[in-house]
Structure 1
């Protein structure tokens, strides 16, 4: 008798949604609905019993809002991890560096990652590049990430949307597929039906 083949789990990875992010100037960011989008995805992943990874940045720079021991390192209340959900701390933008995240995913047979969080051009981009290079099937939720306005190398100020769009362009096709939250929910539903 042949054993049935079940699809592998799909992990939702939520990057750096901490209290310290709320101290950044709201007028200089894009996707003001990102937190609501991430919460909707989180609730759906929980309802489906799929794995969730909460990434928390712990800065090595004194005075940073993410310096250990300050309330800035705490998760935003509505996105607080539940018991049993994996929390992965990091000290650099890329969560795969100096951590056991890759091992944790591989041991659970997780090949597909859906990534959300902040900021698109920093921690999200760094994590997605490594995930793609490690061979994970990586999806980035465009409306579940956001960025801040930033001057480019030539000193030209770029809007948050421009920074966000360029970071996603850097990732699309090379390291990941960029999708929206509706596509992520459809993928989750399809996976749940297959189970």
Structure 2
């Protein structure tokens, strides 16, 4: 098993997600932000490249409008930022779509992209899925990402359900999902973060469903 050649990608850790309608709910940003900064500090100590991504909805947009305070990076991120970081502004969910991030990753010999930031239910999901066709291995840090409550004509899911369900989905096929502490250990030991697979996840899911059904009270 080869040593991962990693880059840490900070996805949209912008002020837009710290208050108002899009405020991250689970894990609460008071918990996830310190995990993001811990990942930054670990990556810096290990000398792995870092890219910082900001989302734009265009000038004058109601959210993510350049020139507004909400567009700016959270101060905890901005204060750690250095000239060595790659800066990316995107307009789609995926960090790769219509940006030069892929080229930068190739230039730096990266084969494994670690995603932290927001939201699990949008840009983290979209980026992890697109990475498969681009040939990158993806890692998602479960406690350094976050989701919001969602409701529409298709149904309702609270933020915890959204976050945990999507992480289980990602870990079944598109990404290795783990905590920041587990990732830091993998970084230090130059190991891969353990990932699930679709077959194993399906088998475990079937077993859990059967166990739940058998333990349910009979009417």
Query: So what's the TM-score if we normalise by structure 2?
Result: 0.78
The CA deviation at 1:154 is: 3.0
1:16 to 3, 12, 16: 12
1:47 pairs with 2:45: yes
Q: Any unmatched runs of 5+ in structure 2?
A: 192-219
Change (3 A) 1:28 1:113: closer
1:171 pairs with 2:167: no
Tell me, in whole angstroms, the C-alpha distance in 1 between the residues paired with 2:153 and 2:102.
32
The CA deviation at 1:22 is: 1.4
- Contact 2:140/2:175 (CA < 8 Å) preserved in 1? yes
- Bigger shift: 135-144 or 27-36? 27-36
Match runs of 1:61-140 below 5 Å: 62-80=60-78, 81-140=81-140
The CA deviation at 1:28 is: 6.6
Query: So what's the TM-score if we normalise by structure 1?
Result: 0.87
Change (3 A) 1:184 1:99: same
- Contact 1:59/1:91 (CA < 8 Å) preserved in 2? yes
Tell me, in whole angstroms, the C-alpha distance in 2 between the residues paired with 1:107 and 1:27.
35
Secondary structure, counterpart of 1:142 in structure 2 = strand
1:181 pairs with 2:191: no
Match runs of 1:138-177 below 5 Å: 138-151=138-151, 153-155=153-155, 157-177=156-176
- Contact 2:59/2:66 (CA < 8 Å) preserved in 1? no
Indicate the RMSD between aligned Cα atoms, in angstroms.
Answer: 2.1
Higher relative contact order (CA 8 A, sep 6+): 1
Q: Any unmatched runs of 5+ in structure 1?
A: 1-5
- Contact 1:12/1:113 (CA < 8 Å) preserved in 2? yes
Secondary structure, counterpart of 2:190 in structure 1 = helix
Change (3 A) 1:23 1:63: farther
Tell me, in whole angstroms, the C-alpha distance in 1 between the residues paired with 2:12 and 2:20.
13
Cα deviation code 1:74-110 (max 9, x no counterpart): 1111111212111111011111111111111011110
Cα deviation code 1:147-187 (max 9, x no counterpart): 001115433x2110101122213312321111111111011
The count of residues paired between Structure 1 and Structure 2 equals 186
